Amino acid sequence: MNDNKVEILLVEDNPHDAELTIRALKKSNLANRLIHLSDGAEALDFLFARGMYADRNIGNRPKVILLDIKMPKVDGIEVLRQLKANDATRTIPVVIMTSSKEEQDIITSYDLGVNSYVVKPVDFEGFAKAVSELGFYWLITNQGID
Amino acid sequence: MVHNLKTRLLLSKLSIRQRLPLLICGLLLFTISIYGLLNYYSLRKAALAIGKVRISLLSNQIGTMLAQQAQAVRRTTRATAAQKSITGYLYTAHNDQYRADALSQMDKLHRDSTWVSVELLDTNKQTVLRSTKSTVHVPVPLSEVLLSTPVMPDSCQIGKFYNSNGTLYYPIIAGVSANGKLSGYLVSWQLLHATPQAVAQLSQLMGSGAHLYLGNADASIWTDMIKPVPGPPFGTGQKNELIEYIDKNDGKLYAKAQQVFHTPWLAVIAFPEKNILEGTQSLIPWILLFGVVLMVIGIIAARIVSRDITKPLNQLTEAARTMPEGEQLTIDIPGNDELGQLATAFNRMTSQIYTMWHDLEQKVQERTGQLERANKELDAFSYSVSHDLRTPLRAINGYAVMLQEDYGPQFDAEGNRIINNIVTNATRMGRLIDDLLAFSKLGKKDLVLTQVDMQELAHTVINELLQNENDKDYNIQIIGLPPAKADAGMIRQVLMNLISNAIKYSSKKEHPVIEIGGEENDTYTSYFVRDNGAGFDMAYADKLFGVFQRLHSQEEFEGTGVGLALVKRIIDKHHGTIRAEGQEGQGATFYFHLPKKHIYERQQSGDLIS
């Protein structure tokens, strides 16, 4: 995929959750320009054009980042912190998608400047509905910085 | 008894610092008074004894002195009576040859003005010659005098006192003899009148206040040596004895009579008691002064002692008072006496308490740390549960749905039923996990008490719940719910769970009826939620509020078994109570009470102290 056209960056270590998310987005035709990365370190490399993504154009920003919290190596909170601390990435909308209703996570995320916090429902219907609404909102309804 | 009690009550109100000096003062006053009185009386007794001895000595001396004078007078008179002219004049029956000489001798006998008369008498007691210097004729018949004073030849006697118009005289009678036979009498009268020198000498001898009485032994006449006076009341047979009597001028007097030798006289020395005790009386101010000085010293000593006692006690009290404030005070009371030992014991006790306190604090910290760690572990656990259990569950659910969507047409009815069951169960497990998390999180939540309008809250909850129950006609009555003092979010959960239960369990009735009501008294507000639904067997009432405890099967009524446990936990947090009544097939009623004041408020206002 040409990374210049990335609209959604999905950072999710669990392949099943990732699959369900992608399926839900696909159903609404929102997954055409989606990249899925499975850990926080890789996501940071991608966003800051480092390491294996060194030749990527940092100016090409995704329209939204769907970020899981619980990941090995670098977790979602840390990714969020670094994104929001950097001027180049600060304005990219970030949606935390997690199974955790932990109050502390919610508070920390909003403190760091998260744009949305979504608790993934267990039942697929609810989950699919939440994901597609989210995709519609951030890709179509919301006007971001190009 | 009552007085004693009052005194004790009064004493018990005073501090030791005040009581001790008072007690010591009282003791001192008592001791000093007794000691002073005893001393005074023994001094008085001694003074009286000394006084009596002095009286005896004085009366003796005076008697002796008078006797010596009397002896001298007798000797002189006798010598005159033995003169040849005197004896010759009487012997020759008044021969003029002797007369001039006799007169001259008799005139010589007038040694001073107290010799008022000298007479010569014959044996018939008739005056035959009278001295030319005789100035006074004592109007006492000489025969009477001679009768009461028998005189031997060549002897001389002194007679008793006679009163003549307020002047006292006494006769000195010498027997004139001729050839050993009585031939007449030489009688001279002497005026009793002490010279100023003699009086001065006597008063010096006797001391102030003393009375000297001279009188006849038969007590017919008494004199103070100058004039006749009423004498002391000596009865017969009391000579040489010490007597006491009362005089209207001098009060009580002690007196002793002394027979004056060679005379029929008594010399009496009388001392008023007050004079004898003069020295003793003058001691009284000194005794009083001594007592006052002792008292003052005693009070000062008592104050010092009581301060020595109360100061350490105050130190102890202060130390004991400040101890709960966390200050360890070591009492410094020197000495090895009782107070010193008390201080040592106190210091040991406080140091033990502090050690124990310290240990306790350390233990509390350790335990708190352990608890905090355990809590963190629990948090981590519930985090894991919420995240890690939900993720695979979502995968199961998701893949099952994907299977159904993508391959549903290829399955037969049984295949689709199985996939449905997978989805239903996974969803149910998700809800279980959510409920369980909500239940465990409740323990960590703090109550925020506000006044909650229960009537309005009940309406809101019912409207929310009935949105999904359009097809059923529920008869719901909400009557008189008093406002509650509660955490708004939590009490909403309570009403939500109880009313949703009521709706759920009465949903199979043809005419479901739900009543919600309440009442209040001074301390509690109480509420009930009643339905006419499935009800329950009272035998299992204790299982209603347990976690995951259900009295109905999943097929009958769906549910996780957490709802009522959550309700109970919330009511417990509010220090309220909850109970349920029911009958199988007839319905159930849930009652709960909430205290009007929070438990801390009640503790502060003292409601719970007793």
pLDDT tens per residue across span A7-59: 899 999 888 889 989 998 988 888 888 899 988 899 999 988 888 888 888 77
- pLDDT bracket for residue B607 (50, 70, 90): very low
Assigned fold of B447-605: Heat Shock Protein 90 (3.30.565)
Q: Would an 8 Å CB–CB cutoff place A56 in contact with chain B? A: no
For residue B383, list chain A residues with Cβ-Cβ distance below 8 A: 100, 102
CA distance A54 to chain B (A): 33
- pLDDT bracket for residue B237 (50, 70, 90): low
Q: What is the pTM of this model?
A: 0.46
Per-residue confidence (pLDDT) for residue B591, from 0 to 100: 94
Are B411 and B451 contacting, i.e. CB atoms less than 8 angstroms apart?
A: no
**For residue A101, what is the nearest residue in chain B, using CA coordinates?**
B386
Burial of A10 (0-12, 13-18, 19+ CB in 10 A): buried
What is the C-alpha separation between A24 and A17, in angstroms, rounded? 11
User: What six digits make up the tokens of B21?
Assistant: 């000096």
In order of A18, A92, B429, the CA distances from B386 in angstroms are 18, 28, 12
Q: What is the pLDDT of residues B258-269, one digit of tens each?
A: 888 888 888 888
CB contact under 8 A, B392 and A16: yes
User: Which CATH class, in words, describes the domain spanning B330-444?
Assistant: mainly alpha
For residue A102, list chain B residues with Cβ-Cβ distance below 8 A: 383, 386-387
Q: Average of pLDDT values for B162-172?
A: 87
Q: Average of pLDDT values for B544-551?
A: 79
Task: Match 């210097």 to its residue by tokens.
Answer: B133
> For chain B, what is the mean pLDDT?
83
Residue A80 has pLDDT above 90, yes or no: yes
Which residues, including other chains, have CB under 8 Å from residue B555's CB and lie 6 or more apart? none
CA distance B430 to chain A (A): 6
CB contact under 8 A, A124 and B429: no
In order of A65, B96, B240, B357, the CA distances from B233 in angstroms are 146, 51, 14, 94
B378, B382, B391, B404: best mutation site toward chain A, by most A Cβ within 10 Å? B391
Q: Would an 8 Å CB–CB cutoff place A70 in contact with chain B? A: yes
User: Which string of DSSP letters, residue by residue, matches A45-109?
Assistant: HHHTT-GGGTTS-TT---SEEEE-S--SSS-HHHHHHHHHHSTTTTTS-EEEEES---HHHHHHH
Is the CATH code 3.40.50.2300 the one for domain A3-139?
A: yes
Per-residue confidence (pLDDT) for residue B235, from 0 to 100: 67
ipTM of the complex: 0.79
B379, B381, B397, B441: best mutation site toward chain A, by most A Cβ within 10 Å? B397
Strands A94-98 and A64-67 come out as: parallel
SS3 letters for B322-355? HHHHCCCCCCCCCCCCHHHHHHHHHHHHHHHHHH
**Chain B residue set in contact with A, beta carbons under 8 Å:** 383, 386-388, 390-395, 397-402, 423, 426-427, 429-431, 433, 437
Q: Average of pLDDT values for B534-561?
A: 80
CA distance B423 to chain A (A): 8
User: Which string of DSSP letters, residue by residue, matches B374-435?
Assistant: HHHHHHHHHHHIIIIIHHHHHHHHHHHHHHHHHHGGGS-HHHHHHHHHHHHHHHHHHHHHHH
With a pLDDT cut of 70, the percent of chain B lying above it is 92
CB contact under 8 A, B426 and A123: yes
Q: Would an 8 Å CB–CB cutoff place A87 in contact with chain B? A: no
For residue A17, list chain B residues with Cβ-Cβ distance below 8 A: 391, 394-395
Beta bridge pairs of residue A94: A65
Q: What is the pLDDT of residues B107-122, one digit of tens each?
A: 888 888 888 889 888 8
Residue B560 has pLDDT above 50, yes or no: yes
A16, A99, A125: best mutation site toward chain B, by most B Cβ within 10 Å? A99
Q: Would an 8 Å CB–CB cutoff place A102 in contact with chain B? A: yes
Per-residue confidence (pLDDT) for residue B328, from 0 to 100: 66
CB contact under 8 A, B383 and A100: yes
If one counts every other C-beta atom within 10 angstroms of the C-beta of residue B97, the result is 12
Are B204 and B109 contacting, i.e. CB atoms less than 8 angstroms apart?
A: no
What is the C-alpha separation between B386 and B604, in angstroms, rounded? 41
- Extents of the domains making up chain B: 82-191, 330-444, 447-605
Which of B28-37, B364-373, B580-589 shows the lowest per-residue confidence on average (mean pLDDT)? B28-37
> For chain A, what is the mean pLDDT?
86
Task: Match 């040859």 to its residue by tokens.
Answer: B97
- pLDDT bracket for residue B284 (50, 70, 90): confident
- pLDDT bracket for residue B8 (50, 70, 90): low
Are B490 and B570 contacting, i.e. CB atoms less than 8 angstroms apart?
A: yes
Per-residue confidence (pLDDT) for residue B166, from 0 to 100: 82
CA distance B548 to chain A (A): 20
What is the C-alpha separation between B580 and B590, in angstroms, rounded? 4
Per-residue confidence (pLDDT) for residue B3, from 0 to 100: 59
User: Which CATH class, in words, describes the domain spanning B82-191?
Assistant: alpha beta
Q: What is the pLDDT of residues A99-142, one digit of tens each?
A: 777 778 889 999 999 999 998 888 888 888 888 888 888 888 88
With a pLDDT cut of 90, the percent of chain A lying above it is 26
Are B499 and B462 contacting, i.e. CB atoms less than 8 angstroms apart?
A: yes
Q: What is the pLDDT of residues B412-435, one digit of tens each?
A: 989 989 988 888 888 888 888 888
Task: Match 């347990």 to its residue by tokens.
Answer: B546
Q: What is the pLDDT of residues B41-74, one digit of tens each?
A: 888 888 888 888 888 888 888 888 888 988 988 8
Per-residue confidence (pLDDT) for residue B470, from 0 to 100: 66
What is the C-alpha separation between B283 and B260, in angstroms, rounded? 37
Residue B317 has pLDDT above 90, yes or no: no
Q: What is the pLDDT of residues B185-226, one digit of tens each?
A: 888 898 887 777 777 777 777 776 788 888 888 888 888 877
For residue B393, list chain A residues with Cβ-Cβ distance below 8 A: 122
**For residue B429, what is the nearest residue in chain A, using CA coordinates?**
A122
Per-residue confidence (pLDDT) for residue B27, from 0 to 100: 84
- pLDDT bracket for residue B609 (50, 70, 90): very low
User: What six digits make up the tokens of B11?
Assistant: 């004493």
Residue B352 has pLDDT above 90, yes or no: no
